[in-house]
Structures are given as C-alpha cells and as structure tokens.
Amino acid sequence: MKWINNSKWLGAWICIILAVAGIGLEPNAAHASATGVTQATYGVEALNGLDAANAKLSLSATASTAITNGTDWKDTAGNPIQANSGNILKVGSTYYWYGEHAENWKFEKVNVYTSTDLKNWSFRSSILTKDSAPELNSSKIERPKVIYNKATGKYVLWAHYENGTDYSLGRVAVATSDTPDGAFAYQGSFRPLNYESRDMTLFTDTDGSGYLVTASRKNGGANDTMAIFKLTDDYIGVQSFVGWIFENGYREAPAVVKKNNTYYLFTSQASGWYPNQGAYATASSMTGSWSALSPFGDPAAYGSQIHSIATITGSAGTSYIYMGDRWNPLNLSDHKFIWLPLTLNDSNKTATLNWYSSWDLDATTGNVILPSLVNHAQGKTATANSAASGSPASLANDGNAQTSWKTASASWPAWWQVDLGSTKTISEVDISWFMYKGSEAYYKYKIEYSTDGTSYSTIDRTSNTAYGFTSDKVNFQARYVRINLVTAVLFNNPNNWYTPTVHEVRLLGH
C-alpha cells in the first residue's frame, strides 16, 4: 500500500506532495447514531493486493493510492502503522482501523486509525494502553476486535489476554467506550464460562446477536478445539456456550463473515509464527452445523495469517477484504499487512483468495479494481530435472496451488522450467513453496531466464528467508524461465530432508 509520508522531496515535487498529503487528512467523524455504524463483519480481515509493478499513484488531489502488499505501511504523518491483528469498523462515512502494538513481547497499546478511502490512514488515538489498568502493565493483548452495540450505544473491545511472561492464562479482556476513538474503560479479564480462550474474534449478526469465536481447549491440548459463545445483550459478557467446532483440529486465528444467508468461518492451523494453509467452513446459522473445512489461498496463505474480514458496501455493490498479518519468524518486529480481495460464492458456498501484490478498492462504489496482468506461465509446457509419479512438472503451473510438482528423489539442487511459447515481458515472479508443518523451511533459489533456451541470465535469490510464499519484482524478457531450487533451510533441523517440491509458479506481465 502506498502511503503519503513526510519525506522531503526536491524542488517541483513539493507542491505535489502537499496536494497528495491533503487526501489523507480526515475530518473528525461525527459519532454515529445506532443506524450509522456498520460492523466490519468480523472474523478475518485481510486485503491482499495488486501487482506492485502495475500499481500507480496518481499525483492529483482526487486520486486514490493502491493497496500494495508486503511493504511497510505508513499513516498520513509518515509514521509506521501499528495496528496488528485488529479489525475495521465503519462509523458514518469513516472507517476505523483498530489493532495492537507490542514492544519486547509485551502489550503497549491498542491504536485506532481513520480513513474514508481505506488507503490513506490517519492516526486517531491509543484507545487502550498498558497504563489503562494495573493488570495491563505487564501483559499480552492480542487480536483486539471492536464492535458497536446499538442498544447501549457503547463501543466494545474484546481481546486475547495473557500475562507478560507466558500463555498460561487463556483469558479474554473487555473494555468499553462511548466513542469509537475515545479512551476505553477497562472492564477486566476472565475465562468465558471458565473455558480457555486464546486466538479469538467477535461477530455481530444481522439480528443484533453477538458471538465470541475462540481457540480453546477440550481434550487436553491448548488450541485443540474451537468454541463459540453467545454474548450478553450488552456485549460485555458471555451469555451461553454455543458449541465446539473442529474438534482436535488445532485451529486458530478465527474470522467470521456473513453473506446473505451463509456464514463463513475462516481459520488457520496452529503453527506458531509460521504461515500455513488457511481453511474455511460454512453454515446457515452461527449455531451450526458447520461444514467440513476447505482450503483457501495457497498452502501458506500467501505468507500470512488471517485476522479479520472487512465487508465494504458501496453504491455499486459489496466487496470483502481478507486482512492478514505477515510475520517473520526470524524477526517478529518485521511485520507486514496483507490485504486481499476475497470472493464469496453464495450459490456453491465457496471462498476464493488470490494473490495480488498491488490492487485498488473504490470505497465509494465498493468495487475492487484488479491489475491488468497476465500469468504467462499457466498451462504452458513445463519440464523438470525429474518428477515423482503423480507429480509432473505441469502441476506447478496449472493455476492450482493445491497441486504440486515434486522431484523423484530428495536430491538437491533441482530445477523446474517453463516454455512460454514466445518471448514475454515478466514483471513479477510468484512462487508457492512446499512446507512441512512442524518443520517449516524457506528455500534458497535462483530465477534463470533465456530467450533461446541456451544462454541464461540469473536473478540470485539464495538470500531468501521468506517462508512458504515469495513474490519477486523483476523486469526481464524471456521465453524460457527456470526456477533453480538450491536448497531448503529447515528451522529445526540442520539437515535438509525435504524433497524439492513447488506448488505453483506464476510469471506475471502485460
């Protein structure tokens, strides 16, 4: 996402910067009445974006910027946005983006930012801090969600609460406010009906009922089973236990969205800070029954973990935004936001999530604008140094990240190549890599390209440390593109026992 910042540009650019910066300055939004607040349909919000090579910032006072993934997002004052794992709430014509900020593994504050276009965000306030209550002085507050209660006129925040040293408590924390950006009054922490609660989300149904969906414990293991609770009418407590779901599935990071009469519940696997395959289930009621889990995105959720879904309704329709966190397991301070357009098909109850490095969203109309890029690799003739039975080279460019090419043995290095049929201009190389849960690895690789299949140029990516998914901005012309898998580095094993495997290669260009 391209944010207006306070960098000093030279000469003639100064006037342009002043004009563009004005776009992001939001007036104080009037606190909406009961009919003026739109819940962002909680559960998971993650917008993923268009190809960055195609993202353009129009330097005019009326232009909007693109949503660009995998970059450092800044607010309109040029400061890093610190709003991890939260959600979006619409009040009147203004969107409020809530999220937490931690330092040295401990809670610092829950921040809120405002925007009218979902791309230029202004810092509004820190609505809850470590000084808001004694038990917050040394604590962990994770995945905060804010919803609005029409009956009481209160904004209600729930979050996962732990002490500052470990994850032994398994509680929720609750705070309330009369305004969306005021200081929230801390109400305390507790286990809902004495059940453990860790990764959690809130969902408000169209009839006003509120629900807590959380990773819990049923059969002895932390996060082994997810639980659903119905909230009290004022949303500050738990009224009843609804039921268990995904028993012994070890799911976390829940997010819920409703489209027409279908409820979609998105979750991730529990794998620490490493990305993994996200999955969703559907139901006709929050009380179930819920369908079996189906995968969405690629096997690493494009290197992210879902935290909520924003429902954006405009004059021309409604769009759904996947909002996710990209954590770097090697450096947790290196965090990125991943926002992607999410497609919900009500007729067959399916959800589709595709990767876009950069894309656009018109908050006024509700329309998603995708880049005009072509995947030149899909369906073209692919070869490899070897292939295991049932895992031919063609499965790495079939347009389906749930299939994969795998070599016939665990010998490294290995290579995979595609013949594009004619010379194409390539601006982005996206690769979905195989990972084994519990022994995740990143791949050291090279991108080799040629116009004649004889003489190759090389882009060296042996410095890569991204797990599960890589997206490289490039600029070359080639008919033949070869991915050279040099080795895999397992986080918990000095020996690389992986068999070279790639789920999908996408070569994007015009």
- 312 and 299 in a single domain? The answer is yes
Give 28's pLDDT tier (boundaries 50, 70, 90): very low
- 386 and 361 in a single domain? The answer is no
Longest dimension (CA), the chain: 72
Contact 90, 96 (CB under 8 A): yes
Give 422's pLDDT tier (boundaries 50, 70, 90): very high
- 361 and 447 in a single domain? The answer is no
- Residue 6 lies inside a defined structural domain of this protein: no
CA distance 21 to 71: 19
- 360 and 394 in a single domain? The answer is no
Q: Which of 369, 386, 412 is the last residue of a domain?
A: 369
For position 434, which CATH number holds?
2.60.120.260
| Res 169: pLDDT | 98
User: By C-alpha distance, which of 231, 228, 288, 296 is closest to 267?
Assistant: 296
- 219 and 311 in a single domain? The answer is yes
pLDDT tens-place string over residues 307-345: 999 999 999 999 999 999 999 999 888 999 999 999 999
Q: Which of 321, 354, 369 is the last residue of a domain?
A: 369
Radius of gyration of the chain from Cα atoms?
A: 23
Residues 292-326: b if buried by 16+ CB within 10 A, e if exposed: ebeebbbbbbbbbbbbbbbbbeeeeeebbbbbbbb
The average confidence (pLDDT) of the chain is: 89
For position 120, which CATH number holds?
2.115.10.20
- 149 and 260 in a single domain? The answer is yes
Give 9's pLDDT tier (boundaries 50, 70, 90): very low
- Residue 28 lies inside a defined structural domain of this protein: yes
CA distance 483 to 502: 10
Entry pTM: 0.87
- 416 and 356 in a single domain? The answer is no
Give 487's pLDDT tier (boundaries 50, 70, 90): very high
pLDDT tens-place string over residues 236-276: 999 999 999 999 999 999 999 999 999 999 999 999 999 99
Q: Which residue has the tokens 């009326």?
A: 62
The range of the structural domain enclosing residue 79 comes to: 13-369
- Residue 3 lies inside a defined structural domain of this protein: no
| Res 128: pLDDT | 98
329: preceding bond cis by omega (within 30 degrees): no
- 361 and 222 in a single domain? The answer is yes
